[in-house]
Structure formats: structure tokens, C-alpha cells
A and B are shown apart, each in its own frame.
Chain A
Amino acid sequence: MHEFGLAQEIFRIVMAAALRNRATEVRKVVVVAGAMRAVVESQLAFHFTVIARGSMAQRAQLVVETLPARGRCRQCEAEFDAPDFGLACPRCGSAETSLIQGGELLVKEIEIAGS
């Protein structure tokens, strides 16, 4: 359900980039989302379509590339996968860890057609 707010921001970024590049149509939007963001691609694409109606991005295909969550331990310097988002270090048990991948939320690129 958080996809609507995100789709609004994505639309704003996409349109600004498309206008800067003198596009007449946006054909594809590639979003990068970390797993921690729990972005559902079909939901996001649907909301984007609703928001983009009547604009040059209305037929754009929106795809989401998901990055798995990974953590890094500041005590023992281990890097580890965090598939269930647990961030205690699996090697030494330390709580002094940080998320190094999985929190991303970016518009990576768009494909446009221009005049």
C-alpha cells in the first residue's frame, strides 16, 4: 500500500528527466529497490500507470530490480546476507552492525523516445 506515494515521487523524477532530455515518450522506467523496502513490483507499476495517465509516460513499462539485504559487522568485520532482515552478526553475535545493502530506493534509468 505504500507504493502509491512512491509512484508519485517516481513519476515526478521521471518526468523531470524526460523533459530535460527533450523526450516525447517514456518507454521504460527502471527502479532499484532494496529488499528492506518491501516494494511490490506489480503494485508499483499499477500505481505508476494510474498517475501517468495522460502524460508522455502513460505507456511506460515499470520494472523493479530488487537488491537483497546485506549487513556488515563493525566488531568482526564479517559481511553477511540478511534474508529475514535479522541484523545481529551471524558470526560473532554482535549488535554493532549496519545495513550495507537492502535499503535502496532509486530511479535507476529510463528509456525514452525523442523528437
Chain B
Amino acid sequence: MKVTILSDILEANDTIAEQNRKLLADHRVCAINLMSAPGAGKTALLERTLDMVGNTYRVGVIEGDIETSLDADRLARFGIPVVQINTQGACHLDANMVSRGLGNLPLSELDLVIVENVGNLVCPAEFEVGETHKIMLLSAAEGADKPLKYPLMFQRASLCIINKVDLVPHTDFDLEKARTNARKANPRLSVIELSCRTGEGMDRWLAWLRSAVEGESSRGG
């Protein structure tokens, strides 16, 4: 006997993601889902950003890693609320894990939550977590072909940050081609090039982030 189902495979996740989205909206908190391949510089970007944001607005972080709290330890010096989630094998954060993370953050005292996803260019793109924006971090060490190989990630993102631009002169990385490929996958994608090491381009990223945070805090008055 055939039984028609037509159920969205990610429906259970998306339902929880909607609850997260509502919770964040109720607190007028902007949430960023930061995704990249391992080693592209997600934690370095967080450190640089937290250094420069200072007290301008209040930030909380959800750190996703398969194992260890090494990334959360790196952020300890900032004295901000950080929740470490170990996925214990899972290659991405799902909405349920982020829901638990949000439950451990003082949302009424925050303006921005940055979710650092597990380093992976495939699965994190598929799992909505209730974020305001998905940000895809690509590094100059990875190659300009990545947007074509991992189209979903680039398609879902609002912003693509190309990190480690200070390395470009030492590699075969074609910045123009990376930009073109990223916009091919997603014509509306914003692209910002920067280096967390030298600080070049950080001002453009902070301006983008500020307008994202202000966009949320002004919602509904």
C-alpha cells in the first residue's frame, strides 16, 4: 500500500527555529549565524569584533563545536555571556541546540547574539536556527571556487565575508573570481573583504553589523 506523506524533512527543526526567531524578536535581539569551513577564522573574527565593539552594544555568544570548549575559553577574557554547545559528533548546530543555548543567555540584557556554527560548509546551511542573518565566512586560503561547490551556503547567506585578504599576494586566490562566483550563487549577497590579523576592512564589517543590530532594536518601536 502506498501512503502519501509530503512532509518537509526539516519541518521539526524549522518549527523550533521559528520559536527561536520569535523569542529573539520579543527581546529585539539581532542574531547572527556565523558559518564557514574549519579554520576560516570564525573565532578570530569574533575576537576582533568584540575588541572593537567594546560597550557600544551588548553581545552574547553561542559557541558550537563537536568537542572541547577551546573557542569559548578564547572568548572568556571579554567577560560577556558565552554558552558552549558540544554537538558530540553532529556536524552542525540545529534549532533545538540553539534553543537550549538561548535559554542560557540573558536575552533581555543583550542587543546581539552571535552563533558560531560548527566549521562545515554543507550541513549548517540546511538547518535554520532562527537567526536574523546568516553570514558566510570564506578565507583567501580556501580557493575562489567554493561558492560554486557549496551553492546552498552562499544562497542562504545575507553577507559573505572574505577573510585573510592579507594572504592574497602569497596565494593563487583570485579575489575577483571569488566575488563573481559568490554573486553568481546569490546575486543579492553583500561581500566584505577583510583581514582579522591586520584589521584591514574591519570598519566595513562593523558598519554592516551595527546596521543589522539597529535594524532589530528599532523593530516595532
Which residues A6-57 have CB closer than 8 A to chain B? 6, 9-10, 12-14, 17-18, 21, 31, 36-38
Residue B28 at the A interface, CB < 8 A? Answer: no
Contacting residue for B9 out of A6, A17, A85, A95, CB 8 A = A6
Residue B2 at the A interface, CB < 8 A? Answer: yes
Contact of A85 with B185 in the complex, beta carbons under 8 Å: yes
Contact of B9 with A86 in the complex, beta carbons under 8 Å: no
- Taken together as a complex, chains A and B put the C-alpha atoms of A30 and B172 apart, in Å, by 44
Residue B76 at the A interface, CB < 8 A? Answer: no
- Taken together as a complex, chains A and B put the C-alpha atoms of A100 and B13 apart, in Å, by 22
Number of interface residues of B (CB under 8 A): 30
Shortest distance in angstroms between B4's beta carbon and chain A's nearest beta carbon?
Answer: 5
Contact of B4 with A109 in the complex, beta carbons under 8 Å: yes
Shortest distance in angstroms between A92's beta carbon and chain B's nearest beta carbon?
Answer: 12
Contact of A95 with B187 in the complex, beta carbons under 8 Å: yes
Contact of A112 with B9 in the complex, beta carbons under 8 Å: no
Contact of A2 with B126 in the complex, beta carbons under 8 Å: yes
Contact of B152 with A9 in the complex, beta carbons under 8 Å: no
Shortest distance in angstroms between B125's beta carbon and chain A's nearest beta carbon?
Answer: 9
Which residues B1-15 have CB closer than 8 A to chain A? 1-10, 12-13
Residue B148 at the A interface, CB < 8 A? Answer: yes
- Taken together as a complex, chains A and B put the C-alpha atoms of A38 and B149 apart, in Å, by 10
Return the CB mask of A66-104 against B: 1 if under 8 Å, else 0.
Answer: 000000000000000000111110000011110100000
Given A9-B9, A10-B9, A13-B9, decide whether A2 and B1 contact each other with a Cβ distance below 8 A. no
Given A12-B12, A88-B184, decide whether A110 and B2 contact each other with a Cβ distance below 8 A. yes
Contact of B152 with A36 in the complex, beta carbons under 8 Å: yes
Contact of B90 with A5 in the complex, beta carbons under 8 Å: yes
Contact of A84 with B148 in the complex, beta carbons under 8 Å: yes
Shortest distance in angstroms between B120's beta carbon and chain A's nearest beta carbon?
Answer: 8
Residue on B nearest A35 in the bound complex, by CB: B151
- Taken together as a complex, chains A and B put the C-alpha atoms of A55 and B180 apart, in Å, by 48
Contacting residue for A105 out of B3, B9, B122, B186, CB 8 A = B9
A-B contacts besides A87-B186, A95-B183, 11 pairs, CB < 8 Å:
A9-B9, A10-B9, A12-B12, A31-B9, A36-B155, A85-B151, A107-B6, A107-B7, A110-B5, A111-B1, A114-B1
Q: Name B's A-contacting residues (CB within 8 A).
A: 1-10, 12-13, 90-92, 94, 122-123, 126-127, 148, 151-152, 155, 183-188
Q: Lowest 7 CB-CB distances: which A-B pairs, in order?
A: A95-B187, A85-B151, A2-B123, A86-B184, A105-B9, A2-B122, A107-B5
